[in-house]
Chains A and B, each alone.
Chain A
Amino acid sequence: MVFTFVRFIYNFNSLLMSKSGLLKSSIGKKFLMGLTGLFLISFLLVHCFINALIFVNDGGETFNKGAEFMGTNWLIRTMEIVLFLGIILHIVQALVLTLENRKARPVAYAVTNGGANSTWYSRWMGLLGTLILMFLIIHLKHFWVVTRFTDHIAHSAADALPGQETMFGEMKEVFEHTWVVVLYCLSMISLAYHLLHGFQSAFQTLGLNHKKYTPMIKTAGVIFSILIPVIFAAMPIAMHFNIIK
């Protein structure tokens, strides 16, 4: 039993990592980019839904319950680790692929007219991703670090000790600053363009291209890429201007 398991792991490992293995190949690396990308898209959906609970506008009561569930449920906490691994893998693969792509064209063109054959955001995915990463670092510092590594956050307003804030209260506090609201909104524009290419690109990479379904995937991608960032951007705006109290 144990032997079979070890052999399975070994075989699986050699499938992915050996010299001719999947992940050494260009298509394998792309596959990992697409797969992690889709996983991060699924995270955005959950994150957006939970946070949109602030729009219930009940002083954060519903939202705080949602936040408590996300902070305490063992499945969610496990997925949090998977999520970090997913983000890191997405970034590492992007760096590896970009370096390889640079090497594939040692002498640059003097004149290029990329606009004639492709969208600007499909060519600048790396830059858009970097902007999102910079936002992510600030965003994690604003909320994730405070929740996980300090005693500053209480589960509900009733439990709050002196000096403690609920998750909702913390959001209100952070979004009081105008620069934070501006930064969040600008970052959502980067996210929107990153998704606009990434969403449909992931399906193409996984080999999922079909005369009937690809147009649907592309439309769904455009709707997702606009809707999710707009809802996210609405949160700091609504809090800053006290539309959400």
Chain B
Amino acid sequence: MSHGNMNLTLKVWKQKNKDTKGKFETYNAKGISPDMSFLEMFDVVNEQLINEGKEPIAFDHDCREGICGMCSMYINGRPHGPKEGVTTCQLHMRSFKDGDTIVVEPWRSAAFPVIKDLAVDRSSFDRIMAAGGFVSVNTGNAKDANNILIPKPDADEAFNAAACIGCGACVAACKNSSAMLFVSAKVSQLALLPQGKVEAQQRVLNMVKQMDEEGFGNCTNTGACEAECPKSISLENIARMNREYLWASATSKD
């Protein structure tokens, strides 16, 4: 065991499935290197649990390089823990002190039912995307994209919105469990570009309708989503979605 390793107490939410009630279990994480990521710390704890013949903690993870958005953990009252602009896999144990007690919960939202322990079902996001988060007109081959001139600021703004990885931290952070930041980013990334503008009206109507049906809460502009977003998606997107939606519902033919 190298010098400077930490011993931590973990209080982790354990829940069998969405139909059962969950509760906190306490685990001791011993000899944790400050250079480990938060997920690697969980790997160590799970290995220990498996060796002891106990059930490991279920948690989501995939790329472990901050771009897949799977690692949903609500750590000490904040999605993805205390650091800004990072996912859980990019959070390192040096952000904690030896002897700390860390409380880890799943995203809590009616629209994100718990699958097991810390893993939640985010297919509600998929259904919102399926409702309109696409371009259905033929946009041609790669070279054709250059036939339509797009001002650099517009392209940049669309790209910034497209940086959303759909992790759900916005919903987790929001006191109302609102998905407005996610949906607005997906509405914006297409509405800002000429190929996406064609279907912008119907898209925003359909996506907001699906968002409401999934049971997400309503935005009160606290800005918690923007502050906790690992990709720093801007609140301007929510204003754009509101604008697009209000205009579309006032002018739509049905």
Contact = CB atoms under 8 A, between A and B. Distances in A.
A135 B109 CA distance: 34
Contact of A116 (B78, B208, B218, B242): B78
B249 interface: yes
Question: For A24, A110, A197, A208, which residue has the most chain B Cβ atoms within 10 angstroms?
Answer: A110
7 contacts: A15-B250, A24-B212, A26-B180, A101-B178, A103-B110, A104-B178, A109-B108
Interface residues on A, range: 35 or more
A177 interface: no
Given A22-B250, A31-B246, A109-B74, 12 more contacts: A21-B249, A25-B212, A27-B242, A30-B218, A97-B218, A101-B220, A104-B110, A111-B105, A114-B224, A117-B78, A201-B220, A205-B219
Interface of B: 11, 13, 22, 24, 74, 76-78, 82, 103, 105, 108-111, 173, 175-178, 180, 205, 208-209, 211-212, 215-224, 227-228, 235-236, 238-246, 249-250, 254
B110 A112 contact: no
A105 B177 contact: yes
Question: For B78, B176, B222, which residue has the most chain A Cβ atoms within 10 angstroms?
Answer: B222
B103 A26 contact: no
Contact of A207 (B212, B222, B228, B242): B242
Given A29-B218, A112-B77, A113-B76, A118 B250 contact: no
A173 interface: no
B217 A123 contact: no
Nearest to B180: A26
Given A26-B219, A117-B223, A118-B227, A209 B24 contact: no
Nearest to B236: A209
Contacts of A207: 239-244, 246
Contact of A26 (B11, B105, B211, B239): B211
Q: Is the interface of B mostly helix, strand, loop or mixed?
A: mixed
Contact of B175 (A22, A114, A201): A114
Given A116-B78, A118-B227, A201-B221, A104 B245 contact: no
Contacts of B254: 20
Nearest to B106: A107
Nearest to B175: A123
Given A110-B103, A111-B77, A25 B223 contact: no
A60 to B, nearest CB: 41
Contacts of B111: 104
B221 A197 contact: yes
A208 B105 CA distance: 36
Given A31-B246, A106-B110, A117-B228, A204 B221 contact: yes
Question: For A27, A103, A107, A209, which residue has the most chain B Cβ atoms within 10 angstroms?
Answer: A27
A109 B235 CA distance: 24
B55 to A, nearest CB: 21
| 7 nearest CB pairs, A to B | A207-B243, A209-B239, A113-B77, A104-B217, A117-B227, A101-B176, A104-B177
Contacts of B180: 26
Interface in A89-124: 97, 100-101, 103-114, 116-119, 122-123
Contact of A111 (B82, B103, B236, B246): B103
A210 to B, nearest CB: 8
Contacts of B178: 26, 101, 104
A117 B108 contact: no
A164 to B, nearest CB: 46
